Amino acid sequence: MNKINKGLFGLTGKAKESLIQKAIEKRSARDAQAEADTARRAPSGARVPVSDDLCRFDKLPGYKDLMVQRLAADQLNISNPFFRLHEGTASATSVIDGRECINFSSYNYLELSGHPRVSQAAKDAIDQYGTSVSASRPVSGERPVQQELEQALAALHGTEDAVVFVSGHATNVTSIGYLFGPRDLVLHDALIHNSVLQGIQLSGAFRLSFPHNDWQALERMLEQRRHEFERVLIVVEGIYSMDGDHPDLPKFIELKRRHRAFLMVDEAHSIGVMGERGHGIAEHYGVAGGAVDIWMGTLSKTMAGCGGYIAGEQALIDHLKFSAPGFLYSVGMPAPMAAASLEAIRVMQEEPQRVRQLCERSRYFLARAREQGLDTGLSRGYSVVPVLCGSSIKAVRLSNLLLEKGINVQPIVYPAVEEKLARLRFFISCAHTEAQIDATVAAIADALKQL
């Protein structure tokens, strides 16, 4: 470490930035090679040289890359923009280090986290059921509020039933990992969430990605490869959380029917956002819930709780409830969280103006950003608007400059996105005002001039 430190001192700013970029590029190249080598194994009888470094976490390649980047950032006086301390409910504003800021780093799209009715529902559930169910639901038994939440989710999607899990990420991992296997094929959008990739890896299914939102490329892949596999799963998202765009759902439904495949839609960011009542991408396109085989969603965003869920036909839900490891061997959803999400759904349905205002504010932000010449990528103005920066260093610096101006927004850097597509990601809330948006867009434009 001392050797690295000595090499950094005395470098110009550009040289230090170059060092960080090289570290990022090196990690990117290694990740790409690892992806290509996934199926490779050491040949039978081969010996791997064993050293003490192989049982030390600080010698892992990823950790060493992190340390080089962190040290170089320190030398460039770039503050760490992650893990900022929020001192209250995060909505359109949040208190960070004792200062109220305009906040764009919360999934609280409909301002239901912190809503009096939602908070009271959680408090009442604590008084009645405690803070934990303490075991899996097959072991510890059911709570009425868990069942009521699943019924509400099924009604929201127009399906026969639903099942809730204690983690949104684990919902995708355990569902895909359990339902599919080595004789199956999973085709997914190139920008699909990490949880889907982890689920596919667990399943052992063959994996292919198609270009983002390109149903025509998917069609060609199905024509060429469908006959090689038993079951085929197609996975897309309702709204892509990094880009703020969405797929042409009817096209994907038509393809899955024609090629006898399953279709799964991850609605983590589209429930409460798309559709006149916030019922998601199916309502947006006017398609029936049964047209999609597997609906997945999270409870931590619009629904003001924590966890994830799967909605679909009865056979699917029964199968997951009785056999999926992430449900069968995991603690059940705590009653306070289930009660909070259930009440959030009720408020959303009773107050559809929240969804309309979210849509209006999101489109207003997108329009104002484009007027200022900001690169908003693929965003369609549904709650997520990125501002592309071109490099991780620039994204972090821009985030820190905006915080100085009282605006909190997180940078998205490699490896979450490609290095050249590093960005700030703005999450819009129905509670944001046009004045807050105007001030933010002006501040972004001014900060970019400083950089």
Q: For position 37, what pLDDT does the model report?
A: 56
Over residues 158-217, the pLDDT tens digits come to: 999 999 999 999 999 999 999 999 999 999 999 999 999 999 999 999 999 999 999 999
Which positions ≥6 away from 136 have C-beta within 8 Å? 327, 328, 329, 330, 331, 332
Which tokens hold the place of 92?
Answer: 């359109």
Q: For position 416, what pLDDT does the model report?
A: 85
Mean pLDDT of 13-21: 63
Q: How confident is the model at residue 10 (pLDDT cuts 50, 70, 90)?
A: very low
Which pTM value belongs to this model? 0.89
Which positions ≥6 away from 297 have C-beta within 8 Å? 153, 168, 266, 267, 268, 271, 280, 308, 309, 311
Q: How confident is the model at residue 47 (pLDDT cuts 50, 70, 90)?
A: confident
Contact 409, 402 (CB under 8 A): yes
Q: For position 72, what pLDDT does the model report?
A: 64
- Domains, the chain, with CATH or none: 17-25+55-77 (no CATH), 93-107+352-450 (3.90.1150.10), 116-350 (3.40.640.10)
Q: How far apart are the first and last CA of the chain?
A: 30
Q: How confident is the model at residue 5 (pLDDT cuts 50, 70, 90)?
A: very low
**pLDDT surpasses 60 at 386:** yes
> What H or E segment, with its residue span, contains residue 309?
strand 308-312
Give the residue, 289 or 60, on which the prediction is more confident: 289
**pLDDT surpasses 80 at 28:** no
Residue 86 is classified by DSSP as: B
Q: For position 22, what pLDDT does the model report?
A: 66
Q: For position 41, what pLDDT does the model report?
A: 53
Contact 13, 80 (CB under 8 A): no
Which tokens hold the place of 296?
Answer: 């997945």
Nearest partner of 273 among 359, 351, 149, 367, judged by Cα: 359
How many Å apart are CA 450 and CA 446, to the nearest integer?
A: 7
If you average pLDDT over every residue of the chain, what do you get?
A: 91
Q: For position 64, what pLDDT does the model report?
A: 78
Mean pLDDT of 314-325: 97
How many Å apart are CA 136 and CA 156, to the nearest integer?
A: 25
Q: For position 3, what pLDDT does the model report?
A: 37
Q: How confident is the model at residue 46 (pLDDT cuts 50, 70, 90)?
A: confident
Q: Which amino acid is at 185?
A: L
Over residues 98-108, the pLDDT tens digits come to: 999 999 999 99
Percent residues over pLDDT 90 in the chain: 78
Q: How much is the CA Rg of the chain, to the nearest whole Å?
A: 23
Least confident of 56-60, 326-330, 349-353, 363-367: 56-60
If DSSP codes are grouped into helix, strand and coil, which group holds residue 95? strand
